[in-house]
Chains A and B, each alone.
Chain A
């Protein structure tokens, strides 16, 4: 199968979403091919987080189509759970399970969802924690870790399911500045390893360095879809110019 005929990992077609009277996603079109890293930028309230959350149906959509690896999102139920198991998600607020240790957090889904034997799950979990640099924190509870360490644990937890694609919903927005880099380093490493990623972020440095494509959203619409070089040096729309003007001047 050639790259051209393979279905995109994520396909969002004509998606509309309302919060009451608020039109948060307006006829959104987006395709993320396998292995690509797509960064979604945009001002607060532009719908970028909502878009990210519709892809594993944490937010249901009102109309349009979303496919993951060629399969349309099923309705809530066992089939949706199966699909979510293949889509890793990292949240702004980490959402580690507060009553479980770090290694238990990473082991939980493989043992419960994939029925992996505990010993094997623990081995994989420790390898992943090693990879994100917090193996020495494995037996602590989430509250005992710094924000950066918690977010790296959350990435390890998502990776433990061997996802086909990873969604990042503002993964560094809740972190102290000195902890942002350690999380971005892990994400850059993932991107280098060929993981398909959709990253909602305000980190322009990451967008420049690790993204294959940049999507710019404003008022619920995809306004620009270009390469990082193009977007940062020669944005086409006024809204993107305005946005970049505000964040790059200082």
Chain B
């Protein structure tokens, strides 16, 4: 217990940073992933190709490599200089977007094709059809796998430890330097993650319940 109480400030700052990485990357990956899913189900073959290629490349690459690219390879291109923290957000967002895309796409596929046909027959454009008819109905089946994807993102933020980005995964480094008990320190980090994931699971239950009655 003393490990936690003696270093409360460290724990709070580190987990705060983790939450921030998660929140920013979460929002960005949800937006980008949904856009990618729209590309993948669009009637334009070129768009579908772009979406498929993105998912193939990013989903098949280890997250650590994506981090390495943005922290060490990207700077060599000398385009725009980015801070390690920003690089971590970019790497996490781009990587997670590929998974979000597939979750959204699988949700879209659960909506009967007649719903899209009726929309088209009424004169709705592709974007209107997706936005007002298909995606709202896809939400329900998307909630459980999307929660899993977001939980994975929350835990993946610790990969940033290897790249000198301060967050919960780096608590151990600081504790070692101070000669604290690392075993108990890590236990508290683990408990911290369990506590952080709980609201996500709760949100899943709430959304599942709310959207199950709306039909």
Whether the pair A98, B137 counts as a contact (CB closer than 8 A) is yes
Give the nearest-CB partner of B125 in chain A.
A81
Whether the pair B114, A157 counts as a contact (CB closer than 8 A) is no
Whether the pair A82, B123 counts as a contact (CB closer than 8 A) is yes
Q: Give the complex CA separation of A78 and B125 in angstroms.
A: 7
Interface residues as binary, B105-133 with A (CB distance below 8 Å gives 1, 0 otherwise) = 00000001011011111111100100011
> How distant is A58 from chain B, measured CB to nearest CB, in Å?
6
B136 at the interface (CB under 8 A from A): yes
Q: Give the complex CA separation of A82 and B215 in angstroms.
A: 29
> How distant is A49 from chain B, measured CB to nearest CB, in Å?
12
B65 at the interface (CB under 8 A from A): no
Whether the pair A95, B215 counts as a contact (CB closer than 8 A) is no
Stretch from A107-115, A211-219, A227-235 at the B interface: A107-115
> Given that A76-B43, A112-B128 are known contacts, is A91 also in contact with B123, CB under 8 Å in the complex?
no
- Which A residues are CB-close (under 8 A) to B133? 97, 108
Whether the pair A143, B121 counts as a contact (CB closer than 8 A) is no
> Given that A99-B214, A99-B215, A141-B215 are known contacts, is A93 also in contact with B114, CB under 8 Å in the complex?
yes
Selected from A58, A98, A154, A161, the residue in CB contact (under 8 A) with B123 is: A161
Whether the pair A84, B123 counts as a contact (CB closer than 8 A) is yes
Whether the pair A143, B123 counts as a contact (CB closer than 8 A) is no
Selected from B43, B115, B121, B122, the residue in CB contact (under 8 A) with A98 is: B115
Number of A-B contacts (CB under 8 A): 69
Q: Give the complex CA separation of A109 and B122 in angstroms.
A: 6
Contacting B at CB under 8 A, from A133-177, are 141, 143, 154, 157-158, 161
Chain A interface size range: 20 to 34
- Which A residues are CB-close (under 8 A) to B128? 112-113
Whether the pair A95, B124 counts as a contact (CB closer than 8 A) is no
Whether the pair A81, B117 counts as a contact (CB closer than 8 A) is no
Q: Give the complex CA separation of A99 and B136 in angstroms.
A: 8
Contacting B at CB under 8 A, from A82-104, are 82-89, 91, 93, 95-99
- Which A residues are CB-close (under 8 A) to B122? 84-85, 89, 108-109, 113, 157-158, 161
- Which A residues are CB-close (under 8 A) to B119? 97
- Which A residues are CB-close (under 8 A) to B118? 89, 91, 95-97, 154
Q: Give the complex CA separation of A35 and B117 in angstroms.
A: 26
> Given that A76-B43, A112-B128, A143-B215 are known contacts, is A95 also in contact with B123, CB under 8 Å in the complex?
no
> How distant is B167 from chain A, measured CB to nearest CB, in Å?
39
> How distant is B50 from chain A, measured CB to nearest CB, in Å?
18
Sort A-B residue pairs by CB-CB distance and give the 3 closest, nearest first.
Answer: A85-B123, A95-B118, A95-B114
Instruction: Tell me the A residues contacting B by CB distance below 8 Å.
Output: 56, 58, 76, 78, 81-89, 91, 93, 95-99, 108-109, 112-113, 141, 143, 154, 157-158, 161
**Contact sample, A vs B, 11 pairs, CB 8 Å cutoff:** A58-B117, A84-B122, A91-B117, A95-B115, A97-B115, A108-B122, A113-B123, A143-B215, A157-B122, A158-B121, A161-B123
